[in-house]
C-alpha cells in the first residue's frame, strides 16, 4: 500500500470511488459527482491523498473549509472514501491516520466530520482514530427527499498548546490574590490566561501595589472582581491563597480543574511603623513569588 498526494491526474478514479459512496445513500447529502474544477475549489490544496494498492487507486481523502473566519483557520472537515472492493482491509484507518498526521503538520488543530447515523463503519473508523461524538444534528438536511440525522464528530490535536485558564482566589481580591495574579501573568506569558477574584471585593490594596511595583510589576491596572463574575469559564487550575476563601468559597463547577491551596501570610492585617509595614508586604510578596515560580516550573 502506498499513500501519495492527490493530483488532477488521479481525479477520474477518485470520482469513481466518490460515486460508489454517493450511490450507497449514506455517505453524503451530495447526489452528483463534481467536475475537477468544482472539486478542486471545495477542498484545501494541502492534505489531499490517495492510496494505491497493487498499483490501483483504492481510496482518497481531503480537507474542506469549516468557516472562512480567520479564527477558524485551523479547523477543517475531513472527507474519506474507500472503494468497495478495498473495504475491510484497514486501508481507511491507515489513510485517516496519515491525514491526521499531515493535518497537524499543516497547522490544523481540529478535524471534524459529519456522518450519517446509519453509517456505522465510518463512525467506528473515526472513533478508532481519536474522534469523539459531539452530538447529533437531527434531520439536518434531505437526500432524495428523505430527512437524515448527522452525527457530528471531532478530533482535537494534542500537539497544540492551549492557553490554560488559572483562577487565583482569596477573600477580597485585594492583596495576596492580586500579587499572585501579577506574578503568574508575568511568568506564564502566553501559556495561560490569569484571573483573580474574591468571595468579596475590597479594591486593590495600596501596600500590595507598592511592593509589587518595587519588583517591576504594576497591579494598579487590575480590578477587584467577585468570583461570580467569571461563571462559565472552563478552569484548568483554581488556586486559593487564604484559608478563609478556601473554607467559605461557593462551589465552582470545574470538573477538570486542578485545585491547589496555600495560606499565605496576610500583610494587610499588619500594624506597625511604615518601615515595618513595607517589610511585611515584601515578606508576603516574596513568599508568593516563590510559590508562583514553583507552580509554573511544575505545571508548564
25: left (phi over 0), alpha (psi -120 to 50) or beta: left
d(CA 102, CA 32): 29
Other Cβ atoms within 10 Å of 295 Cβ, number: 20
Provide the H-helix boundaries in 24-107: 36-42, 91-105
pTM above 0.85, yes or no: no
Cell readout for 253 is 463547577
**Which residues does the annotation mark as catalytic?**
170, 242, 249
- In which residue are the cell numbers 466530520 written? 113
C-alpha–C-alpha distance, residues 147 and 46, integer Å: 33
Domains and CATH numbers, the chain: 2-156 (3.40.630.30), 164-299 (3.40.50.2300)
Q: Give pLDDT tens digits along the chain (300 positions).
A: 899 999 999 999 999 999 998 888 777 878 789 999 999 999 999 999 999 999 999 999 999 999 989 888 999 999 999 999 999 999 999 999 999 999 999 989 999 999 999 999 999 999 999 999 999 999 988 888 889 889 999 999 987 767 889 999 999 999 999 999 999 999 998 889 999 999 999 999 999 999 999 999 999 989 999 999 998 888 999 999 999 888 887 778 888 899 999 999 999 989 999 999 999 999 999 999 999 999 999 998
SS3 content of the chain, % helix, strand, coil (to 5): 40, 25, 35
Amino acid at each position: 500500500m502506498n499513500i501519495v498526494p492527490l493530483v488532477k491526474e488521479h481525479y477520474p478514479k477518485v470520482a469513481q470511488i466518490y460515486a460508489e459512496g454517493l450511490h450507497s445513500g449514506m455517505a453524503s447529502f451530495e447526489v452528483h459527482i463534481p467536475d475537477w474544477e468544482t472539486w478542486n475549489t471545495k477542498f484545501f490544496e494541502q492534505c489531499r491523498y490517495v492510496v494505491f494498492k497493487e498499483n490501483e487507486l483504492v481510496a482518497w481523502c481531503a480537507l474542506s473549509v469549516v468557516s472562512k473566519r480567520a479564527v477558524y483557520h485551523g479547523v477543517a472537515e475531513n472527507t474519506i472514501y474507500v472503494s468497495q472492493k478495498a473495504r475491510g482491509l484497514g486501508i481507511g484507518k491507515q489513510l485517516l491516520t496519515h491525514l491526521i498526521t499531515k493535518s497537524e503538520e499543516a497547522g490544523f488543530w481540529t478535524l471534524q466530520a459529519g456522518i450519517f447515523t446509519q453509517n456505522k463503519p465510518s463512525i467506528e473508523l473515526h472513533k478508532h482514530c481519536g474522534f469523539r461524538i459531539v452530538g447529533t444534528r437531527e434531520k439536518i438536511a434531505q437526500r432524495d427527499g428523505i430527512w437524515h440525522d448527522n452525527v457530528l464528530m471531532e478530533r482535537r490535536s494534542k500537539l497544540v498548546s492551549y492557553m490554560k485558564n488559572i483562577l487565583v482566589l482569596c477573600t477580597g481580591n485585594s492583596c495576596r490574590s492580586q500579587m499572585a495574579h501579577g506574578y503568574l501573568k508575568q511568568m506564564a506569558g502566553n501559556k495561560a490566561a490569569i484571573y483573580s477574584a474574591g468571595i468579596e471585593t475590597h479594591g486593590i490594596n495600596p501596600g500590595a501595589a507598592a511592593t509589587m511595583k518595587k519588583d517591576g510589576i504594576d497591579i494598579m491596572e487590575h480590578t477587584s472582581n467577585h468570583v461570580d463574575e467569571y461563571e462559565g469559564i472552563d478552569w484548568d487550575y483554581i488556586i486559593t491563597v487564604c484559608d478563609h476563601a478556601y473554607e467559605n468559597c461557593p462551589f465552582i463547577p470545574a470538573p477538570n480543574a486542578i485545585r491547589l491551596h496555600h495560606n499565605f501570610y496576610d500583610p494587610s492585617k499588619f500594624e506597625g511603623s511604615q518601615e515595618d509595614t513595607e517589610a511585611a508586604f515584601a515578606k508576603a510578596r516574596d513568599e508568593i513569588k516563590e510559590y508562583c515560580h514553583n507552580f509554573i516550573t511544575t505545571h508548564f
